[in-house]
Amino acid sequence: MFRRITAGMAVAIGLSAGTTAHAQELTLWSHWADQASKVEFVESAAKAFEEANPGVTIKINWYQKEPLYAALKTALTAGQGPDIFYAETSQTEYMENDLVMDLSDKLNWDNIEPWATDVWGYGDGVYGFPLEAWTVETYVNSALAKKAGVEIPVEGLEGAAFVDAVKKIAEAGITPMAQGVGDRPYPGAFLTHDILLKKLGADDYASLLKGKGVKWTDPRVREALEYAKEIIDAGAFPPSFSSIKLGEAHRYFHTSPGAVMLQMGSFYPSRAFASPDEGGQADGFELAISHGPIPEGAACAKCKTIAVGGSYVVNAASDHGDLAAAFLNSMATPEMGNKWLEANLVQTGIKADPSAIEGEHAAYFQKLAAANEGATYTYGIPVQQMQGAPRETFTQTVNQAFPAGLIGVDEVINLMNGAY
């Protein structure tokens, strides 16, 4: 099927089997130089495209992120650069300066997740192909949950039921949630920002973060913060919350000392599915995935946060824009979406079919799909949506001081409101 699709695309861009007279070279610059599975995915896609389109070659240069950005700045400023390059949604300067091509009528959007047109939309166009994405998930250590006598269903627990579960786990001498903010500006806020999202709904939540309309003094915001405070005061987090690093939180959850829950991006397997001697979870570990706590009166109980990572854009100055778009389209198939999932253990903007995945990680992707069934997504964790003083204040308060129990609801509201 993959070869039939790409062969069809060759016709669409004016190529035919055996055509070599008009040899064309596409250039692609990408991050992920030290991420072998992502390199292999893109290079195998390039090889398949070359085979389906005789006369076409794809030359890929792999970089670490900062050297890539430096090289792109120099090349694009000179009106040059590669045909396709890696970008992230925060890099709006590419659209502002007309450096990338509008892909709204060039990509097969039927095979790409619908949120992609929102996150890569700018003005009247859509500019990026979202290859990498992750959601905020609540991972559950099923064995410890049973030991504590609690059940965390896939649909999550609402209102007092979640608070009661946290209390019961803590009373059993087990850590309810293995979070830490020792080396990241966002994991401590997972609990609170997803409660705010569910309470307000996606539109009002976005308005709150951007300081346009909904204020931190809104009564619904207070109710959401008070609910999060109940969970925190019930003993949700470990005493070492402020110093635990991201990798340490994983190990705390699945190995030692153990916790019932870990709220983490769905990139969790990139660490947890390593061998135990490399910090991964033990063979046979009983892992489940659940919705986070749902506040009473939630406007959107199934709202979730999704963050888009590495994407590809097409250089507006490229002489091969249609060919570049055709290559991106060759990756926009369910087969390639599944290949990405299997190789990289993290979500993608390509529509995939987790039920068709086989092998050792098939059960994991089925659980992840079940936890996201019917979800309404909002793009970006707060530190991706916010800028300047609001972002810095959010990091210091909602991500650090508030979940650590150092400040209360009034302080959060006053500090955040003042930051805008």
Is the predicted pLDDT of residue 21 greater than 80, yes or no? no
User: Could you tell me if 178 and 249 are in contact, meaning their C-beta atoms sit under 8 angstroms apart?
Assistant: yes
Q: pLDDT, tens digit, for every residue of 316-339?
A: 999 999 999 999 999 999 999 999
Indicate the CATH number for domain 135-306+368-419.
3.40.190.10
Which of left, alpha, beta for 198 (phi over 0: left; psi -120 to 50: alpha)? alpha
Is the predicted pLDDT of residue 177 greater than 70, yes or no? yes
Question: Residues for the chain: how many in total?
Answer: 420
Is the predicted pLDDT of residue 257 greater than 70, yes or no? yes
pLDDT grade for 118, boundaries at 50, 70 and 90: confident
Give the tokens for residue 147: 């030991």
Average pLDDT, the chain: 93
> CA distances (Å), 353 to each of 176, 358, 368, in order?
33, 11, 12
Is the predicted pLDDT of residue 285 greater than 70, yes or no? yes
The per-residue pLDDT for 213 is 93
Secondary structure letter of residue 400 according to DSSP: I
State the Cα–Cα distance between residues 246 and 271, nearest whole angstrom: 10
The domains of the chain are located at: 2-132+309-352, 135-306+368-419
Q: In this structure, what is the dihedral angle of CA atoms 281, 285, 290, 295, given to the nearest 10 degrees?
A: -80
| Cβ neighbourhood burial of 335 (10 Å; 0-12, 13-18, 19+) | middle
**Which candidate, 297, 322, 156, 126, places its Cα nearest to that of 220?**
297
User: Could you tell me if 381 and 201 are in contact, meaning their C-beta atoms sit under 8 angstroms apart?
Assistant: no
> CA distances (Å), 195 to each of 266, 291, 408, in order?
18, 11, 16
Give 223 or 16, the one with higher predicted confidence. Answer: 223
Residue reference for tokens 């992920």: 32
User: Could you tell me if 390 and 419 are in contact, meaning their C-beta atoms sit under 8 angstroms apart?
Assistant: yes
State the Cα–Cα distance between residues 49 and 57, nearest whole angstrom: 9
- Residue 222: how many CA atoms within 13 Å on its side-chain side? 6
Helix, strand, coil fractions of the chain, as percent rounded to 5: 45, 15, 40
State the Cα–Cα distance between residues 372 and 303, nearest whole angstrom: 9
Give 5 or 227, the one with higher predicted confidence. Answer: 227
The H-or-E segment that residue 305 falls in is strand 303-308
Percent of the chain with pLDDT over 90: 85
Give the tokens for residue 154: 């896939």
Give the tokens for residue 36: 């072998």
pLDDT grade for 5, boundaries at 50, 70 and 90: very low
User: Could you tell me if 150 and 165 are in contact, meaning their C-beta atoms sit under 8 angstroms apart?
Assistant: yes
Supply the pTM of this predicted model: 0.84
pLDDT grade for 22, boundaries at 50, 70 and 90: low
Secondary structure letter of residue 172 according to DSSP: T
The per-residue pLDDT for 191 is 98
The per-residue pLDDT for 12 is 42
φ/ψ of 317, rounded to 5, equals -90, 0
Q: Which fold has domain 2-132+309-352?
A: D-Maltodextrin-Binding Protein; domain 2 (3.40.190)
* Cβ density class 38-68: b for 16+ within 10 Å, e for less: beebbeebbebbbebbebbebeeebbeeeeb
The per-residue pLDDT for 7 is 37
Is the predicted pLDDT of residue 8 greater than 70, yes or no? no
Return the beta strands (E) in 160-254 as ranges. 175-177
Crossing angle of the two packed helices 160-171 and 219-233, in degrees rounded to 10: 20
